[in-house]
Amino acid sequence: MTMADPTMTSPASPTSATAAPTSATAAPTAPASTNPPAQTSPAAHAAAVGTSAPTLRVAVVGSGPAGIYTAEALVKQVSALAGGPGIEVDVLDRLPTPYGLVRYGVAPDHTSIKSIAGYLRRVLEYPRVRFLGGLRLGTDVTREALLSCYDAVVYATGAMRDRRLGVPGEDLPGSVAATDFVNWYCAHPDIDPAMFTLDAQAVAVIGVGNVAVDVARILAKTAAELRGTDVPEPVLAALEASKIREVHMIGRRGPAQAKFTTKELRELGELEGADIAVDPIEADLDAFDPTGESSRLAASDRRVRGNMAVIRDWAGRLPQGRPRRLSVRFWLRPVEIMGTERVTGLRLERTRLDESGRVVGTGEYEVLQVQMVLRSVGYQSVPLPGVPFDERSATVPNAEGRVLGADEKPRPGEYVAGWLKRGPTGVIGTNKSDAAQTVRSLLADVEAGSRPAGSATARLLDVLAARGIRPVSYTDWLGIDQRELELGAELGRGERVKLCGWEALNAACGAGPAADA
Ligand code: NAP
């Protein structure tokens, strides 16, 4: 038997009497609820399983798509094993709200993608799965404590930091990471709802991936177009008061090399209040590419072909006199974000591909008069305390989901899934097959006896209770969920309006009708 980490039994921290702190920047915590957790106890789990076989107990850290798909794969793959162990999965999150990127990354107007939350919800409601929110790895619960309480731990904390651009002026006021802007319009409680006032006339969005497309679209849409979505009230008010007239989306390579997908791209040309513009020379596949790579890509890759059809259509469009203009630019790389007190411009250098296919500067410069720069050049994972991390790839070193130590050998009982495992690529569904692979590795190791089912005997709730910490339960979360649905109806805005800030989340946490049941 492994003993609980001694740090877990230290006196309760001042903030830990109820739910644990959920953020470095937001001190308030979710309130205690006198209601029992929505999901079943370990004993009830065993009864549900209906077996006396040992139970495999797994903690999944992160309740975004990767974490919840991992929980689903665990239940399904274990159920498919004849004579295999029982299974209990605890899905932990530092926030009191589940669904990670689906809640705090998917754009509010992408309702069909957001509906994935309904699928994830059903997994959290499996009798063998339990949500434990408000627990931050490293402070509220350590890696060692998890390994003492579970036979296996799967890290699935995603990628929540922006990549840096590395140009002068990047930290000027008005130069903003897309991660912050996305978190703002998705009502992430760590972001001040008053963070953005949108008083710039012109904005540059750097990058031509799907996040850049999301950000450019939200900036260019009218508030009326977003009223029926779940954007919180202060965000809707800021969008309503927006002075933005011009949005430039800028790629350092050509349209054939852009990362966005056609369906998402096409939406930019269908906005009520914005004309779309593309410079025909920048849409010409050969103009800045002597290698012929762009034309080859357009011929061989369906996505690129689809993108080019959209872009060529836009290059031929005339302005319709809409109040805003969205220009999609290519072959320009940022060299300086200009300004002294705050952003006043963006200096760009024209690029082209050289004979070896590398992107190079041409020495020709252009200055855009913009008052805001949104850097959307990709996400990065952050290291987890005590967990190996490769700074170069910003992922946890792994072999098919098995966490590798400094000796490049698997660390028994530790696994990784999702963006933390493979980097921020693919669509949400990509995490399903990715999670299934990690779970196959985990179960093969259990079968091989590296950490058999039932080897961890400490119980996390006991360990936490000894420190005065009570996690946010699934029922507590349903209180938030319920309040958001009510708010949507009260405001006549749509199915849901997100609560904004820690105070509102804490007030609603555990206060829903489901919690009273
Ligand atoms: P991404 O797809 O990797 O795109 C990053 C963009 O930033 C690329 O255009 C890249 O150009 C550019 N970039 C990188 N470094 C740069 C630099 N130093 N200067 C200028 N440009 C630079 O990343 P993402 O947009 O953050 O998306 C992350 C993942 O989420 C993707 O898999 C995406 O498809 C997914 N996502 C999907 C949806 C959706 O399906 N609706 C919505 C949002 C996000 P280079 O190619 O030249 O490096």
DSSP readout, 385-418?
Answer: TTS--BTTTTB--EETTEEE-TTSSEEEEEEE-T
Q: What is the pLDDT of residues 373-384, one digit of tens each?
A: 999 999 999 999
Q: Is the C-alpha dihedral spanning 361, 362, 363, 369 positive or negative?
A: negative
- Using most ligand atoms within 8 A of CB, pick from 109, 210, 262, 421 the residue to mutate for ligand 1: 210
For residue 298 the two structure tokens come to 């357009």
> Is the shortest distance between the CB of 446 and ligand 1 below 6 Å?
no
| Structure-token match 């202060």, residue found | 234
Within 13 Å of residue 26, how many CA atoms lie on the same side as its CB? 24
Whole-number Å distance between alpha carbons of 442 and 416: 10
3-class DSSP assignment, residue 47: helix
Contact in structure between 509 and 499 (CB atoms under 8 Å): no
Ligand 1 center to residue 209 CA distance, Å? Answer: 3
pLDDT for position 52: 64
> Is the shortest distance between the CB of 332 and ligand 1 below 6 Å?
no
> Is the shortest distance between the CB of 164 and ligand 1 below 6 Å?
no
> Is the shortest distance between the CB of 160 and ligand 1 below 6 Å?
no
Whole-number Å distance between alpha carbons of 246 and 435: 41
- Can you list the alpha helix ranges (DSSP code H) found in 291-404? 293-300, 302-315
pLDDT for position 457: 85
Residues paired with residue 329 on neighbouring β-strands, in sequence order: 250
Q: Read off the DSSP letter of residue 270.
A: G
- State the 10-residue block means of pLDDT for the chain, 517 residues long: 28 30 34 38 45 86 98 96 89 98 97 95 97 96 96 96 95 96 97 94 98 98 96 97 98 98 97 97 96 96 98 96 98 98 98 95 98 97 97 97 97 98 93 98 94 89 96 97 97 96 93 49
Contact in structure between 13 and 470 (CB atoms under 8 Å): no
Contact in structure between 382 and 355 (CB atoms under 8 Å): no
Rounded to the nearest 5°, which phi and psi values hold at 86?
-75, 170
Which atom of ligand 1 is nearest to 426's Cα?
Answer: 32
> Is the shortest distance between the CB of 426 and ligand 1 below 6 Å?
yes
Instruction: Tell me the CA distances in angstroms from 501 to 26, 29, 191, 313, 497, one per residue in order.
Output: 9, 11, 8, 42, 13
For residue 312 the two structure tokens come to 């060529």
State the chain's maximal CA–CA distance in angstroms.
73
pLDDT for position 396: 98
Closest CA to ligand 1's atom 31: 425
Ligand 1 center to residue 41 CA distance, Å? Answer: 42
Rg (CA), the chain: 24
| Distance between first and last Cα of the chain | 37
Rounded to the nearest 5°, which phi and psi values hold at 260?
-65, 160
> Is the shortest distance between the CB of 204 and ligand 1 below 6 Å?
no
> Is the shortest distance between the CB of 377 and ligand 1 below 6 Å?
yes
> Is the shortest distance between the CB of 211 and ligand 1 below 6 Å?
yes
- Using most ligand atoms within 8 A of CB, pick from 268, 297, 377, 425 the residue to mutate for ligand 1: 377
> Is the shortest distance between the CB of 424 and ligand 1 below 6 Å?
yes
